[in-house]
Amino acid sequence: MDASVKALGYVVIETTDPQAWLEFGTRVLGLQAVQEEDRLLMRMDDFVYRLDVRSGSEDGIVAIGWDVGDAATLSELSARLTAAGYAVEQADSAKARERQVDALAIFRDPDDQMDVELYWALRKSNNLFVSPTGANFVTDGVGLGHVFQAVSDEAAYRRLYMDILGFRLSDHIDFPNGGQGVFLHCNSRHHSMAFGQLAGRKLGIGHIMMEVSDLEIVGRAYDKVLDGAAPLFSSLGKHTNDKMTSFYCGSPSAFGIEYGTGGIVIDDDVWRPTRYSEAHYWGHHRSPERIVSESVTPSSSEPALTAGAR
Domain endpoint, select from 120, 135, 169: 120
CATH number of the domain where residue 84 is located = 3.10.180.10
Average pLDDT score over the chain = 93
φ, ψ dihedrals at 120, nearest 5°: -140, 150
Residue 182 has pLDDT above 70, yes or no: yes
> What is the band of 144 on the pLDDT scale with cuts at 50, 70, 90?
very high
What pLDDT is stored for residue 1 in this prediction? 58
The answer to whether the beta carbons of residues 187 and 67 sit under 8 Å apart is no
* Number of other residues whose CB lies within 10 A of the CB of residue 281: 12
103 and 251 assigned to the same domain: no
Residue 173 has pLDDT above 90, yes or no: yes
Residue 106 lies in a domain: yes
Give per-residue pLDDT as tens, 280-309. Answer: 999 999 987 664 444 433 333 343 433 334
Residue 156 has pLDDT above 70, yes or no: yes
101 and 20 assigned to the same domain: yes
13 and 107 assigned to the same domain: yes
Residue 71 lies in a domain: yes
183 and 255 assigned to the same domain: yes
* Number of other residues whose CB lies within 10 A of the CB of residue 302: 27
* pTM of the predicted structure, to 2 decimals: 0.93
Domain that holds residue 16: 7-120
What pLDDT is stored for residue 87 in this prediction? 98
Residue 138 lies in a domain: no
φ, ψ dihedrals at 157, nearest 5°: -75, -30
